[in-house]
Amino acid sequence: MSDKKIIVIGSCNTDMVIKADRLPVPGETVIGGTFFMNPGGKGANQAVAAARLGGKVSFISKTGNDVFGKQSVELYNSEGINTNYIFSDDDRPSGIALITVDSHGENCIVVASGANASLSPADIESARKEIESGDIVLMQLEIPIETVEYAAELANKNNIKVILNPAPARALSDKLLKSTYIITPNESEAEILSGIKVKDPESAKKAAKVINGKGANIVVITLGAKGSLILENGEYHFVDACKVNAIDTTAAGDTFSGTLCVGLSEGKSIIESVKMATNACALAVTRMGAQSSIPYRKEL
Ligand code: ADP
């Protein structure tokens, strides 16, 4: 394991998943699904991905004072993640995600943020020493944006690299983009950030250029089964996805960003780190669920 520490700041949810032949349309009930429950949340998924792929990980998050929160913390401890900075909120429940997955692996998700919505800049202050001891800060957008911005500024002041997975999709301030070392949008997130419809490597190049122009140092756009486009130092690189039989793409992007950070923490180049992330994702999409689908380093 590399000595470099990855600080993941983000959401922690419990996923309640139903697999059905197809996603219901509004007003419709689809019968015949199978149900299972497992821990999720983009922050937690990325922390688990980074830990399973061999990273030294601290997870800064917030849960409710309830059974879901306690189970999550126990689980992250067992993954070897430092959970000392998972705060507890007495007033809000733990975050819950309701997920439906169809027979093609396509999904549809509704999230009740709960305690994730109260992870505040004051909590980041409480974790300041831990963050300052880190080498990489990895964040997503399932916690309040002012908390993400506050943590990014703190990381920048301490020369700690900020990796931002801008999911779920939303517009971002140029200030946040400027404090981002690597940004990892998928197609729809890249479209929101750039105003360009992203559907293939060519349109991804155009979008990456716009996002880079707004301040993000390195842009990595993930294109699902089509692979990933990298813009680094004015040069474009393309990494093909692996050809696999995908059954559930939940947490593909989380596996990607978590693994990317592990590659970087080991001193690998951006391209090598993206290749490692691509290999990890190829395994993740062939399995059901969020964290249950994330592979271990020995499987690569
Ligand atoms: P998100 O989950 O954020 O939408 P993507 O769907 O772009 O992210 O997937 C992230 C990465 O996972 C891709 O760059 C690719 O390497 C891998 N991936 C996703 N879907 C597939 C698939 N159907 N087959 C192979 N690899 C995939």
Sign, CA torsion 287/17/119/167: positive
- Rounded distance between C-alpha atoms, residue 72 and residue 290, angstroms: 13
Q: Is the CB of 190 under 6 A from ligand 1?
A: no
Instruction: Say yes or no to pLDDT of 272 above 90.
Output: yes
Regarding the beta carbon of 285 and ligand 1, being less than 6 Å apart is answered yes
Q: What pLDDT digit, counting tens, does each position of 10-44 carry? A: 999 998 989 999 999 999 999 988 998 888 999 99
Residue 226 identity: K
Please return the burial class of 208, using the count of CB atoms within 10 Å of its CB with bins 0-12, 13-18 and 19+. Answer: buried
Q: What's the CA gap between 96 and 279, in Å, rounded?
A: 29
- Residue 206: is it exposed, middle or buried by C-beta count within 10 angstroms (0-12/13-18/19+)? middle
Topology of domain 5-299, CATH = UDP-N-acetylmuramoyl-L-alanine:D-glutamate ligase (3.40.1190)
pLDDT in tens, 225-255: 999 999 999 999 999 999 999 998 989 999 9
Q: How much distance in Å is there from the Cα of 81 to the middle of ligand 1?
A: 25
Strands (E), the chain: 5-9, 13-19, 34-40, 56-64, 86-89, 95-101, 107-112, 136-139, 161-164, 182-183, 218-222, 228-232, 235-239
pTM for this prediction? 0.94
Lookup: tokens for 146: 């002012």
Is the shortest distance between the CB of 295 and ligand 1 below 6 Å? no
Above 80 in pLDDT, residue 1? no
* Cα angle value 286/273/266 (rounded, 5°): 120
Of 106, 107, 189, 285, the one to substitute when testing ligand 1's pocket (max ligand atoms within 8 A of C-beta) is: 285
Closest ligand 1 atom to residue 227 Cα is 14
Sequence ranges of the domains in the chain: 5-299
Coil, strand, or helix at residue 280? helix
Q: Does 174 participate in catalysis according to the annotation?
A: no
Q: Is the CB of 281 under 6 A from ligand 1?
A: yes
